[in-house]
Structure 1
């Protein structure tokens, strides 16, 4: 359900044009939003390449699974092209864990800020952020945060200099291509599919205090885009249900869940040199001709493709990274059968299981999460000011916002 209270239109003088910020209307604004999305680079850089995204005809797809969400657009009125959409931003509000003390805070996530190239440096992005923050406050959010590419200097300056956000966390997006053949399962691990109730119990008991852990984890796990939660334990370990596992866990274990981004949005790498395309094509031909060789074939990323996202990565014990690797091999095979071309995840800078995540550095990116305390009136309480808290080992990346 969309929760929105913003009805007032606000003008920004643009040197002969007036820019109005208003709530997204699917019937009136969809085509204009799609034009802005196509005109803007999104996603991490891949060498000199850029990833572009297609939201599959649903501009709200990246927020509509959140408990409360809103989308705003900026319209240019009085310009040479008449009325046109020149900017867009999305936001959602939820309750998350804010540290190891298992305290929860109501936070807002701001994402998908785009301003058409012809209309940048006119204050449109800042006004969209400010209007979205008004709605965040109306919804009772104590903090707002945003994720951007560390190398995107204009975006970082906008949020840290103009909008008052502080640099907070530096997770990494790790990406692995899906080959034309299955990866052999680990002989030293057993992968167990958990039902939703078991997964919820395990997450609340063992990951419930991880930063940004969503209080409504049950809604995440039961969402139609969630493809299941998988637990990896040492080979030969018996499984008798979540309760017995939690009462006496093995010395090492790892858990992760899968999310089907492929049915929400699709990506495309544009601008690739012909040599890259030819080399990628050659690996696929070789893999089809001799699948028993296990050649690391590069999927066709130069046309529209989908991905699967691994979320809720956690575990314990000295062998946990090795067990996490077994989970990612399983995720790769699930993605191959579903037609996804990459498997991605996002992990904190100090994540202990990071060493077990297979990835190609060329395809990934380093993120910067910035945070802002929305009002001083909430008081410090037992938590204090979370925006000044040092990072923990892990963060929980909500797949609804990836």
Structure 2
């Protein structure tokens, strides 16, 4: 045993040249979160900063345990890490007069996000997590962030206690993470719907026109849509409305839009990280394998099969879901079937999305309850004065809307 007086914890910036191996070891031994009796683990594919590096500002810190014995013997060990990023997002809206009409405009704020907080199992309850959070928040303030938020499972009591009791965060939003397995067979997409792939510029125009006042909408949406991990933005409209050459562009589309339509974008998490379920019983594994075999041998039965989730698997993340009209839910369902087939072609195990708990389009998003999280928890903290424009006051006290925009760079 090493006496506590011989232990020193140093928080420093991650060094990609020497820290990768130790960081990956800590990551491998830390579960992401519970899924019933199963445990989800993450594989970062050799890039520990992958989940934040696509944001405008980002940082990764590590907690290094320095063990000293006398003045000559000294060894170090990485026992924890934390990642953070900063961007500008919508935190509310204000009304501005446009001619005779009042037009809602977004109110922006500089928002920080903490993710990937990990502490080695053998070094927990030693204050290391708190030390990492405090160091990251200091960097947030130095870079002008006005708010900081985190996402955690609603039953992860150690994480909730750390942030709400010790770090001053308050419970803010409870979105739902919806996960659909990718089956061995293609899903049928109704012929009543045509699906059009939009250019990044058309997608940006559409999103800024319809979602710019939605909470957490990133002001740099153009960077998201032009990122190499973005697989495309797909618009569902009534069949026959446009042929291959008649797409008028988003501005004209919105000026003469059909009664119902829906849109979403797809982010390729498969090339960033992979997930793996641990803790499944032998019987559970055999059942899953049997469903896959039956699905391959008798594909015309369209039986739902359990993909191989007990080895590292990739996922596609759906974001920017929006629709209008009485059939928007049906159009959303058609889009989800389309992106399921896209994920199958690219070898993914699941398709996932995250939406507000009261999202109207939620009914059109297929999911398996055993893989999903019906109530994720977002906690928020005000780091300083709100410098946006003073029109919304304290964002932490605002009421939730029907929708939120979940940035795929932070999933």
TM range (shorter): over 0.9
Q: Does 1:237 align with 2:246?
A: no
Partner of 2:215: 211
Separation in structure 2 between the aligned mates of residue 376 and residue 65 of structure 1, nearest angstrom: 27
Separation in structure 1 between the aligned mates of residue 192 and residue 364 of structure 2, nearest angstrom: 14
Partner of 1:7: none
Partner of 1:5: none
Contact 2:107 2:389 in 1 (8 A): no
Please, which of 267, 270, 273 is the counterpart of residue 281 of structure 2? 273
Separation in structure 2 between the aligned mates of residue 15 and residue 316 of structure 1, nearest angstrom: 63
How far has the Cα of 1:121 moved from its partner?
1.0
Partner of 2:393: 384
Post-superposition CA distance 1:233-263 (Å, at most 9, x none): 2233334221211112211111100000000
Unaligned residue ranges in structure 2 (runs of 5+):
95-105
How far has the Cα of 1:338 moved from its partner?
0.3
Over aligned residues, Cα RMSD in angstroms? 1.5
How far has the Cα of 1:188 moved from its partner?
2.5
Aligned-partner SS, 1:259: strand
Post-superposition CA distance 1:170-203 (Å, at most 9, x none): 0011000000111011233211110111000000
How far has the Cα of 1:14 moved from its partner?
5.0
Separation in structure 2 between the aligned mates of residue 227 and residue 147 of structure 1, nearest angstrom: 25
Contact 1:36 1:115 in 2 (8 A): yes
Aligned-partner SS, 2:258: coil
Runs of at least 4 residues off by over 6 Å? none
Please, which of 11, 14, 37 is the counterpart of residue 21 of structure 1? 11
Separation in structure 1 between the aligned mates of residue 382 and residue 389 of structure 2, nearest angstrom: 11
Separation in structure 2 between the aligned mates of residue 392 and residue 271 of structure 1, nearest angstrom: 37
Aligned-partner SS, 1:99: strand
Please, which of 359, 373, 381 is the counterpart of residue 382 of structure 2? 373
| TM-score (ref. length: structure 2) | 0.92
1:122-141 mapped onto 2 (5 Å cutoff):
122-141=126-145
Unaligned residue ranges in structure 1 (runs of 5+):
1-12
How far has the Cα of 1:49 moved from its partner?
0.3
Partner of 2:165: 161
Please, which of 58, 75, 97 is the counterpart of residue 82 of structure 1? 75
Please, which of 316, 325, 332 is the counterpart of residue 324 of structure 2? 316
1:114-263 mapped onto 2 (5 Å cutoff):
114-238=118-242, 239-263=247-271
Separation in structure 2 between the aligned mates of residue 252 and residue 151 of structure 1, nearest angstrom: 38
| TM-score (ref. length: structure 1) | 0.94
Partner of 2:355: 347
Contact 2:59 2:83 in 1 (8 A): yes
Separation in structure 1 between the aligned mates of residue 174 and residue 284 of structure 2, nearest angstrom: 30
Partner of 1:3: none
Separation in structure 2 between the aligned mates of residue 301 and residue 84 of structure 1, nearest angstrom: 32
How far has the Cα of 1:15 moved from its partner?
4.6
Partner of 1:97: 90
Aligned-partner SS, 2:6: coil
Contact 1:14 1:122 in 2 (8 A): no
Larger Rg: 2
